[in-house]
């Protein structure tokens, strides 16, 4: 195996050098048994120092069959100054081309001093030696030659109607990052007629797809055919049939054409405990952006107590913050330090932008907040260029997901769809009755399509039902599943009261796709809901007060009270982020795998959305049991 790897390396190196403008100035040498840097230097009439300049790793020793780059005497004589190097840490989505452009050197220059790049691709997080002095001397000629050579390798693509960045990248077999490198400073959606620099050879005939049936998918780091089989439900043969250029394997950033229906199925997610996967013990840096509204505070304890009592936003921010602090302490107990940078956004988008512009976020591992969806979008947009991940902590409204934005709460549409799917899968043999008011027509249509045999009941003209309206639809020989869809507290109270008053022999169970705040209306009794085994989808569960959970015990000991849902949310979300950072290099890598994590009340299973950011797909289906406790059904 070792010889095979060496052969492949030599072959790659030979091919690279054969097309390099340095072919007459440099040569490769395979180290033989017993050779030293000194003996090799004497063989080629060069100094040991010149070999070390081109092969920095050789200072730690050389071994048989390793490869050294040897300069000719012409190159040594032409060097007018000592070569100096700059360390560069490869960032996410960077390419060799973009790094070379950044430092005004050629790709060959970089490969020369990082010789593993002749046989391997860039790896995010690795450190490269960039020859800075070369940019001022011999590299000028190389760049000129490469430019001339590049002009023969590239062509112009004129953007046509319905073409997108993803379709164009797919047509020419390059990633989005590579297309951006070739065409810097272009807007996200370029207009028809825009001229783009692209590779001369295309791998497909068209940059468009049948939008009704297909979508684009961007291959994520470390994803292979097996992972896509699990994630998308497509076999290697099916992927290659749609994307022939993928026959030689997948690469990070490759754009694939996939059937739309394949993305609708939920991925198979393994539940794991990240506390058992800690491998990165470097200090973690978090930024917390919350609307503390400290400007309203005074020096008076009594006034501040009254302020907190009357300001719900401030209370939520403080409760959430208390959970964040506990999560940081939990990670410190595992030997990993956490630096927490806390900022008061005051609930303002302008203040959020000001905080980001006045502070250095480049080394921040993750940003939690702000709370409001519009402010989260602003923060993510401002930090996108630095590739800093931003987590939206409490909003499940539809937000614009940029590539660095994590929506941590599943949207209502996902919960609704999941509940309908559950009802469809489990309603066989049941008498299904759907009760919807006029404002829930869309939900009624979806339910009737999923369960065609269901019976539909609409409230009377005055917005309520009589017992006879439901009684005549009840089947006394089997279980009756009643699905109630309304946001009207009067209808909810009316229907739940009627169902609860019917004989137990009717076997009635109540469901909804939307347990909205009106189920907490004073006329809606939790006892009645428990009697009906009320079942609904939820973004979180409720912890048992008697549960001896480490967080609950620690929180009670520190603050004297048990945590509310915002404090628990602060802990669960922050601890999950910290553990993802501790189990991987960054949260992007840690969120590209199909696994699910679960804590006190919340669970997380992030999936990258097409062309945008990440969304948490984890949710619960809960049921009120007879003890008035919420029981996890799914």
Own/partner pairs for 604-611, CB < 8 Å, 24+ apart?
604/408, 604/573, 604/576, 605/267, 605/269, 606/406, 607/267, 608/218, 608/220, 609/401, 610/215, 610/216, 610/217, 610/218, 610/263, 611/166, 611/216, 611/218
pLDDT of 116 reads: 79
Q: 288 with 578: CB under 8 angstroms?
A: no
pLDDT of 188 reads: 62
What are the strands, taking DSSP E only, across 321-468?
A: 338-344, 366-368, 390-392, 405-407, 431-436, 455-457
What tokens were used for 193?
A: 């007629």
pLDDT of 137 reads: 37
Tens of pLDDT, residue by residue over 555-614, are 999 999 999 999 999 999 999 999 999 998 789 888 877 789 999 999 999 988 766 789
Cα–Cα distances in Å, from 355 out to 346, 375, 394, 417? Answer: 11, 12, 20, 38
What is the C-alpha to C-alpha distance for residues 341 and 287, in angstroms, rounded to an integer? Answer: 5
What are the strands, taking DSSP E only, across 124-235?
A: 127-131, 154-158, 195-199, 214-218
pLDDT of 417 reads: 93
Domains of the chain: 2-147 (no CATH), 159-263 (no CATH), 271-410+546-623 (3.40.50.2300), 413-538 (3.40.640.10)
Is the four-CA dihedral 602, 605, 606, 609 of positive or negative sign? negative
pLDDT of 401 reads: 83
pTM, full prediction:
0.65
DSSP class of 591: T
Pairing state of beta strands 480-485 and 508-511? Answer: parallel
Residue 71's beta-bridge partner residues?
26
pLDDT of 60 reads: 66
What is the C-alpha to C-alpha distance for residues 344 and 364, in angstroms, rounded to an integer? Answer: 17
pLDDT of 75 reads: 52
Residue numbers in the chain where pLDDT is lower than 50: 1-23, 78-81, 134-150, 262-267
Return all residues near 207 (Cβ < 8 A) that are at least 6 apart: 157, 160, 163, 164, 167, 168, 170, 171
Tens of pLDDT, residue by residue over 186-208, are 766 678 888 898 888 888 888 88
pLDDT of 14 reads: 37
What is the C-alpha to C-alpha distance for residues 94 and 152, in angstroms, rounded to an integer? Answer: 24
Helix (H) or strand (E) holding 357: helix 349-358
What is the C-alpha to C-alpha distance for residues 513 and 511, in angstroms, rounded to an integer? Answer: 7
pLDDT of 391 reads: 97
Is the four-CA dihedral 475, 480, 485, 491 of positive or negative sign? positive
């Amino acid at each position: 195996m070792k010889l095979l790897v060496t052969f492949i390396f030599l072959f790659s190196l030979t091919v690279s050098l054969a097309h390099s403008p340095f072919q007459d100035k440099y040569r490769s040498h395979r180290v033989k048994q017993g050779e030293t840097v000194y003996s090799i230097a004497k063989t080629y009439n060069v100094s040991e120092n010149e070999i070390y300049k081109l092969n920095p790793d050789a200072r730690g020793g050389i071994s048989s069959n390793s490869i050294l780059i040897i300069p000719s005497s012409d190159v040594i004589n032409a060097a007018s100054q000592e070569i100096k190097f700059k360390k560069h840490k490869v960032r996410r989505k960077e390419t060799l081309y973009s790094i070379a452009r950044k430092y005004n050197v050629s790709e060959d220059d970089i490969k020369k001093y990082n010789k593993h790049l002749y046989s391997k691709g860039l790896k995010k997080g690795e450190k490269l030696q960039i020859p800075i002095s070369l940019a001022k001397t011999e590299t000028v000629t190389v760049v000129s030659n490469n430019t001339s050579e590049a002009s023969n390798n590239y062509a112009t693509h004129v953007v046509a109607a319905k073409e997108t960045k993803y379709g164009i990248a797919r047509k020419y077999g390059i990633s989005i990052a590579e297309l951006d490198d070739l065409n810097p400073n272009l807007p996200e959606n370029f207009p028809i007629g825009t001229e783009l620099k692209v590779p001369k050879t295309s791998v497909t005939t068209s940059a468009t797809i049948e939008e009704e049936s297909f979508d684009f998918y961007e291959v994520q780091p470390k994803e292979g055919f097996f992972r896509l089989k699990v994630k998308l439900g497509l076999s290697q043969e099916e992927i290659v049939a749609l994307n022939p250029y993928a026959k030689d394997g997948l690469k990070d950033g490759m754009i694939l054409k996939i059937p739309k229906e394949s993305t609708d199925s939920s991925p198979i997610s393994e539940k794991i405990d990240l506390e058992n996967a800690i491998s990165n013990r470097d200090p973690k840096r978090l930024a917390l952006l919350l609307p503390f509204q400290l400007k309203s505070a005074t020096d008076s304890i009594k006034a501040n107590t009254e302020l907190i009592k009357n300001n719900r936003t401030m209370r939520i921010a403080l409760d959430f913050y208390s959970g964040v602090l506990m999560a940081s302490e939990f990670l410190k107990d595992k030997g990993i330090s956490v630096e927490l940078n806390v900022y008061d956004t005051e609930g303002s988008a302008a203040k959020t932008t000001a905080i980001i512009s006045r502070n250095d976020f480049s080394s921040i591992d993750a940003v939690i907040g702000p709370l409001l969806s519009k402010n989260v979008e602003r923060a993510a947009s401002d930090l996108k260029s630095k590739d800093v991940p931003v987590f939206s902590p409490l909003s499940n409204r539809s937000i614009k997901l940029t590539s660095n934005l994590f929506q941590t709460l599943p949207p209502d549409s996902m919960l609704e769809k999941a509940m309908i799917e559950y009802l469809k899968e489990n309603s066989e043999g049941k008498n299904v009755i759907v009760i919807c008011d006029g404002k829930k027509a869309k939900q009624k249509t979806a339910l009737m399509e999923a369960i065609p045999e269901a019976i539909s009941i609409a409230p009377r003209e005055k917005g309520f039902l009589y017992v006879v309206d439901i009684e005549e639809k009840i089947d006394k020989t089997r279980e009756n599943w009643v699905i109630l869809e309304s946001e009207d507290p009067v209808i909810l109270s009316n229907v739940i009261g009627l169902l609860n008053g019917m004989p137990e022999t009717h076997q009635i169970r109540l469901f909804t796709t939307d347990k909205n705040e009106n189920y907490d209306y004073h006329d809606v009794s939790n006892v009645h809901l428990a009697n009906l085994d009320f079942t609904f989808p939820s973004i979180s569960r409720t912890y048992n007060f008697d549960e001896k959970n480490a967080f609950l015990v620690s929180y009670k000991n520190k603050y004297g009270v048990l945590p509310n849902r915002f404090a628990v949310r602060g802990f669960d979300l922050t601890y999950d982020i910290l553990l993802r950072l501790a189990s991987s290099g960054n949260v992007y890598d840690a969120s590209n795998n199909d696994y699910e994590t679960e804590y006190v009340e919340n669970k997380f299973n992030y999936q990258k959305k097409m062309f945008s950011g990440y969304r948490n797909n984890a949710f619960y289906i809960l049921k009120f049991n007879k003890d008035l406790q919420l029981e996890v059904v799914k």
